[in-house]
């Protein structure tokens, strides 16, 4: 099971002062040193954290592991993806007022736009993943739209407690199983931390986990390299 580390919130701290530090590109290099199998950056339309220059620099310096670009399915972002050429693209929903991504893509409402982005990006040799809710219908629509893989949204599971968390874990498991059965590569992420990740690790057929906030938070105390190394130990790779 791969570990992709999202370094967006390193940039969030930097942008709070509009300074040059901390540097998300340096954080990416330390994450790789700690064992990360990939680096994720989300270039938002409002540029609230990762900036265009960050994406360009991380592409230059992240060569030996997977670079995953999270982005909205807009014409501007597609043009950027084609220019920068990450190793993979994950299409995600965006709302200007949200603090973080609140849920999976609305595939029924935005299917035509999403399919257009998939066709253009994958036509240039970059696989596309869709960030979706843990619902069988969304898994099947993702396949119909032509995506190579999906990332199952684990946010509701991560925030739930007791019976609600057990129910959400079952939904995640079913979505992962269905995606695998119909030939999609399956990732998972959002809200995972050093405690709740253990139940997700136990799900077979997950290709990779994409984790950011909890690792960045741990790195404040322990350093990025050690924070990533500890998560890698939990995943068991």
Question: What's residue 122's pLDDT?
Answer: 98
Distance of CA 150 to the CA centre of its chain: 10
Catalytic residue among 9, 49, 153, 190: 190
3-state DSSP call for residue 36?
A: coil
**Calpha distance 128→115 (Å, rounded):** 10
3-state DSSP call for residue 220?
A: helix
Catalytic residue among 29, 49, 70, 153: 70
Question: What's residue 103's pLDDT?
Answer: 87
Q: Are 166 and 188 in contact (CB under 8 A)?
A: no
Q: Which of 180, 211, 185, 179 is nearest to 198 (CA)?
A: 211
Question: What's residue 162's pLDDT?
Answer: 96
**Is 42 an annotated catalytic residue?**
yes
pTM of the model: 0.93
Query: Rounded to the nearest 10 degrees, what angle do helices 136-145 and 107-123 cross at?
Result: 40
The pair phi, psi for residue 208, each rounded to 5°, is: -160, 155
CATH class of 2-235: alpha beta
- Write down the domain spans for the chain: 2-235
Structure tokens at 222: 């322990």
Question: What's residue 61's pLDDT?
Answer: 95
Q: How far is CA 90 from CA 121, 159, 179, 189, in A?
A: 11, 22, 16, 12
The pair phi, psi for residue 91, each rounded to 5°, is: -85, 130
**Calpha distance 4→224 (Å, rounded):** 13
Catalytic residue among 9, 42, 49, 153: 42
Question: What's residue 99's pLDDT?
Answer: 54
pLDDT per position in the chain (237 positions), as tens? 999 999 999 999 999 999 999 999 999 999 999 999 999 999 999 999 999 999 999 999 999 999 999 999 999 999 999 999 999 999 999 866 555 566 899 999 999 999 999 999 999 999 999 999 999 999 999 999 999 999 999 999 999 999 999 999 999 999 999 999 999 999 999 999 999 999 999 999 999 999 999 999 999 999 989 999 999 999 986
The pair phi, psi for residue 41, each rounded to 5°, is: -130, 140
Q: Cis peptide leading into 115, omega within 30 of 0? A: no
CA dihedral sign of residues 215, 12, 51, 186: positive
The pair phi, psi for residue 154, each rounded to 5°, is: -105, 10
**Is 70 an annotated catalytic residue?**
yes
Question: What's residue 27's pLDDT?
Answer: 97
Q: Which residues contact residue 130 at a Cβ distance below 8 angstroms, ignoring those fewer than 6 apart?
A: 90, 91, 104, 105, 107, 114, 142, 145, 147, 149, 150, 151
């Amino acid at each position: 099971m791969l570990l992709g580390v999202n370094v967006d919130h390193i940039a969030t701290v930097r942008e709070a002062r509009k300074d040059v530090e901390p540097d998300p590109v340096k954080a990416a290099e330390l994450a790789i040193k700690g064992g990360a199998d990939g680096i994720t950056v989300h270039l938002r339309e409002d540029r609230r954290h990762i900036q265009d220059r960050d994406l360009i620099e991380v592409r230059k310096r992240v060569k030996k592991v997977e670079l995953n670009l999270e982005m909205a399915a807009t014409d501007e972002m597609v043009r950027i993806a084609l220019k920068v050429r990450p190793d993979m693209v994950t299409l995600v929903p965006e709302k200007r007022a949200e603090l973080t991504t609140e849920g999976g893509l609305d595939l029924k409402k935005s299917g035509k736009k999403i399919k257009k982005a998939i066709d253009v990006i994958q036509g240039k040799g970059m696989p596309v993943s869709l960030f979706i809710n843990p619902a069988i219908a969304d898994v099947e629509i993702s396949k119909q739209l032509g995506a190579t893989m999906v990332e199952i949204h684990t946010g509701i599971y991560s925030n739930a407690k007791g019976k609600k968390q057990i129910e959400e874990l079952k939904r995640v498991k079913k979505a992962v199983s269905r995606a695998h059965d119909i030939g999609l590569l399956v990732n998972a992420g959002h809200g995972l931390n050093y405690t709740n990740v253990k139940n997700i690790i136990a799900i077979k057929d997950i290709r990779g986990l994409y984790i950011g906030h909890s690792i960045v938070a741990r790195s404040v105390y322990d350093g990025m390299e050690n924070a990533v190394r500890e998560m890698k130990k939990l995943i068991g790779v």
